[in-house]
């Protein structure tokens, strides 16, 4: 209320402007746009070790056909381990063929048999003339060496699955070794080196490569990787990838 006698018109502009409560200005709502889902990240899948191999064996080679029958007993194991360690089934077959003829060259025959009965000086972890549990330095289908592998001394080497798995573990270690120590190798050369290392050792195989020697120079028979791939090619002829 105005004071009596005061001209309210003089201040009417003030009250018109400042005396009125301020209006609350509501912000203009911003429409929410749906977030575009991120594209899935597809990690590159590493290819399995191996490829298409040639073979010098005839398709109906009787010795190889007998090994094929034995290898088929372990087909589900071979395929499973192949996927796990990215090793071609045909390569596993070729190695098992070379090492033990898929158990037929062992004493006794089968996955619990042994090979490599030739006497040799103690090496690795062995100190006695022969393994204390009997002769035969090669153990099981993939002939894991008693002197150099704890698995052959204390593991379930007589179990075909465990034996094949361990062989692929050795190959995988060799793959990593040559990827780090010999990165200039082509894929084919690396494959040969890995297979040779399974028999002759990774360090010895690397020495052969650096010296310009044949990759199999320090393997049994000086032909290990070549022979394994030859056998692998034969198994490919019979439906093993």
- Min mean pLDDT across 108-117, 128-137, 227-236 is at 128-137
For residues 135 and 117, is the Cβ–Cβ distance under 8 A? yes
pLDDT digits (tens, 9 = 90+) for 82-93: 999 999 999 999
- What is the C-alpha radius of gyration for the chain, rounded to an integer number of angstroms? 36
pLDDT digits (tens, 9 = 90+) for 153-186: 999 999 999 999 999 999 999 999 999 999 899 9
- Nearest to 160, CA basis, from 68, 74, 80, 88: 74
Q: Alpha-carbon distance 183 to 201, whole Å?
A: 18
**Which residues are registered as beta bridge partners of 140?**
none
Beta-sheet strand order (sheet of 144-145)? 114-115, 138-139, 144-145
Residue bearing the bigger pLDDT, 17 or 88 = 88
At residue 119, the pLDDT reads 84
> What is the pTM for the complete model shown?
0.79
Q: Rank 18-22, 121-125, 195-199 by mean pLDDT and report only the highest.
A: 195-199
- Min mean pLDDT across 22-31, 37-46, 56-65 is at 37-46
At residue 133, the pLDDT reads 83
List, in sequence order, every beta strand (DSSP E) within 39-159: 114-115, 138-139, 144-145
Q: What percent of the chain has pLDDT over 70?
A: 79
Structure tokens at 209: 């490569």
Handedness of CA 97, 100, 103, 109 (dihedral sign): positive
Domains and CATH numbers, the chain: 62-237 (1.10.530.10)
- Indicate the SS3 state at residue 79: helix
Task: Report DSSP state, residue 230.
Answer: H
């Amino acid at each position: 209320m105005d004071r009596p006698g005061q001209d309210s018109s003089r201040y009417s502009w003030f009250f018109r402007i400042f005396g009125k409560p301020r209006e609350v200005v509501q912000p203009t709502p911003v429409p929410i746009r749906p977030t575009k889902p991120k594209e899935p990240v597809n990690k590159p899948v590493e290819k399995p070790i191996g490829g298409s191999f040639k073979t010098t064996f005839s398709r109906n080679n009787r010795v190889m056909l007998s090994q094929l029958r034995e290898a088929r007993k372990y087909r589900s194991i071979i395929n499973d381990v192949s996927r796990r360690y990215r090793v071609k089934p045909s390569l596993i077959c070729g190695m098992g063929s070379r090492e033990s003829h898929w158990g037929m060259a062992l004493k006794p025959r089968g996955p619990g048999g042994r090979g490599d009965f030739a006497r040799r000086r103690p090496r690795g972890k062995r100190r006695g003339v022969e393994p204390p549990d009997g002769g035969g330095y090669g153990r099981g289908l993939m002939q894991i060496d008693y002197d150099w592998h704890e698995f052959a001394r204390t593991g379930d080497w007589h179990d075909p699955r465990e034996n094949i798995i361990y062989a692929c573990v050795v190959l995988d270690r060799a793959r990593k070794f040559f990827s780090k120590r010999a990165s200039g190798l082509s894929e084919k050369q690396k494959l040969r080196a890995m297979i040779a290392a399974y028999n002759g050792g990774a360090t010895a195989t690397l020495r052969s490569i650096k010296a310009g020697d044949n990759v199999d120079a320090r393997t049994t028979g000086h032909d290990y990787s070549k022979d394994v791939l030859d056998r692998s090619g034969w198994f490919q002829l019979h439906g093993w990838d």
